[in-house]
Amino acid sequence: TTTTPATTTPATTTMASTTVPAAPQPAIWPAADVVFTTPEAAATDFLAAVFGEGPVLGEFQAGDQRSGEFEVFASVDGAAIGEPRSLLLLRQLGPSNGWFVLSAVSDVATVTTPEPMVAVPAAPLTVKGVGTGFEATIVVSAFVVGDAATEFDREVTMAGNLGEALPYTVTLDLTTASPGQLIVLLVRGGTGLETDPGDFAAVPVVIG
């Protein structure tokens, strides 16, 4: 008589499915679902939404095939005047390869605290850096990436005067922001002229 040994079927382990949220775009403009096919379009839309129709772009300076930068100028009758007010850094991002403004940088206007793309709470936020403006007036604000009209807070403070960069510290109220929102922190020098954005800088942070 032949006996067939019993067969044991291994237990099947079912792994839970986990959805990893997409990382936010490391950019200040536009929103992640907006696609600009040229760097000029992305940069122009940012300036128009944030400053109105006054500031104008210099020539596009390519870094590589997917990145580059524009100097930003004040204007008179649509023509650039004076020294550059800021430098917009751009790059193609995402599956659509759209153009995004990563940040705005300046030697005399900075946001040093918090650092770009750091997670911050939906709470009062201390912002530090240097700035310069007419009669030492600067403005520091926070708004949603891609939606400059959704501004959480705006503070007017004092820093350097007419090209002299001096430190500032303000507290912006982000208590109404939502987790995961990408926020722009913008510092700009006061000028009193609609066609002059003042020296400015902008960086993105994430509501944690």
pLDDT, average across residues 54-76: 96
In tens, the pLDDT along 131-157 reads: 999 999 999 999 999 999 999 999 999
Question: DSSP for 93-132?
Answer: ETTTTEEEEEEEE-SS----BSPTT-EE-SSEEEEEEEEE
3-state secondary structure 62-82: EEECCEEEEEEEEEECCEEEE
Cα 181 from Cα 146, distance rounded (Å): 11
First vs last C-alpha separation in the chain: 71
pLDDT attached to residue 4: 47
pLDDT attached to residue 179: 96
The amino acid that residue 91 corresponds to is: R
pLDDT reading at 59 higher than 60: yes
